[in-house]
Amino acid sequence: MRKTSLFPIPSMFMSLPKMKPRESAAFIASVSKDVKLNQVCIKRVATEIVKAIVSQEFEPNNMMIHSYPLPVIEDASSIEWVFVADALNFSFWALEENAHYSVELRGKQYTGYMALCAAITKAQEAGIPITSAKYYANVTKETVNEIFMSSTREPIPLLEQRWIILQECGKIINEKFDGEFYNCVRQSENSAQKLLDLIVSNFPSFRDEGIFEGERVSFYKRAQILVADIWSVFKGKGLGSFSDIDTITMFADYRVPQTLVHFGAMEYSEKLYKLLSTNHTFFNGDQEEMEIRGCSIHAVELIKEELKSQSMDFNKETLPINSAMIDYFLWEYRRRFATDLAKVPYHKVRCIYY
């Protein structure tokens, strides 16, 4: 087992060729010992997605749900907002299901990642320029604590790491992108992969990588979700017009695997299931943790191929059949049926990558 750190790859492995997330996932799934995929249930998930779309229970064209405290304005300010949210989009799990980090905004209580979003919006409404790189490059730890103060007794996890990342990202944006992440997005020239490369190469905290069976693999959960969020906010147009958005994989976290296990698309060995049931905390880079994340990505790739091969009851030309859409369905499903899915244990890791 290897302890978590801000930079997961030991220097001795940096010369190894690096696999992209899709390649990494296929490799991990091919040699995984404690996590297996079930093709029959992969098809079941695809069928569930089709049913949800046809019944309008799930709307892929409206992936940013407007009742959430997320930006809906298609302009440059939304890009700065999304960058801050995704720079800090990690580690919201709690040992007890009813003891999550929570923030109240406009009389409504939000938990987990949505609580973070609510805190950002709340800060903006209070006149704090939290989405300005010039501001957060020098923000104090005390101010970060105040901005992300919980409405309950459960504080936001890893506060110091969030403060360090905010300052680091702010300094990089000021030095390399003239104070706005918008300029980084413009440099991508409407390529999801180019933007992903720009993010990973310029911002160390987004380098979600590891060594698995002697190979250098990548997951890039936060970097990919940042690309997908920009695509989603702009509805695939303008600054979010990425012709290669289909090259982005799902966002390997701890909640989507829970949904995949619920559907039977992913199966754990008896040994791993028992370990998860004890609330065991893994380190980022542990074999089991990487198997879960890698197999999750590969499962979603298989679901995507199944969706594309099925005869659909909706127009595939007008709906985004890609990994980001499938991830969003699975993530939203977990939120909507949280009580039912609570019986499925999920892996727990305290790290900055997810």
Residue 34 is among the residues annotated as catalytic for this protein: no
> Torsion angle, CA of 124/125/127/128, rounded to 10 degrees?
-30
SS3 255: coil
How far apart are alpha carbons 70 and 84 in whole angstroms?
A: 12
Segments in the chain forming alpha helices (H) = 21-31, 39-54, 76-87, 112-125, 133-136, 141-147, 159-176, 181-187, 192-202, 221-233, 256-263, 270-277, 287-309, 323-336, 338-341
Phi, psi dihedral angles at 328 (to 5 degrees): -65, -40
**DSSP line for 196-225:** HHHHHHH-GGG--EEEETTEEEE--HHHHH
Exposure string for 194-210, b = 16+ CB within 10 A, e = fewer: ebbebbbebbebbbbbb
Largest CA distance in the chain: 55
Residues whose CB falls within 8 Å of the CB of residue 232, separated by 6 or more in sequence, listed in order:
63, 64, 240, 324
Q: Are strands 281-282 and 348-349 parallel, antiparallel or unpaired?
A: parallel
Which residue is catalytic, options 86, 208, 229, 253?
253
How far apart are alpha carbons 71 and 121 in whole angstroms?
A: 9
- Residues 163, 130 contacting (CB under 8 angstroms): no
How far apart are alpha carbons 224 and 25 in whole angstroms?
A: 14
Q: Which helix (H) or strand (E) holds 188?
A: none
How far apart are alpha carbons 91 and 353 in whole angstroms?
A: 8
> Torsion angle, CA of 31/36/39/45, rounded to 10 degrees?
-130
Residues with a known catalytic role: 253
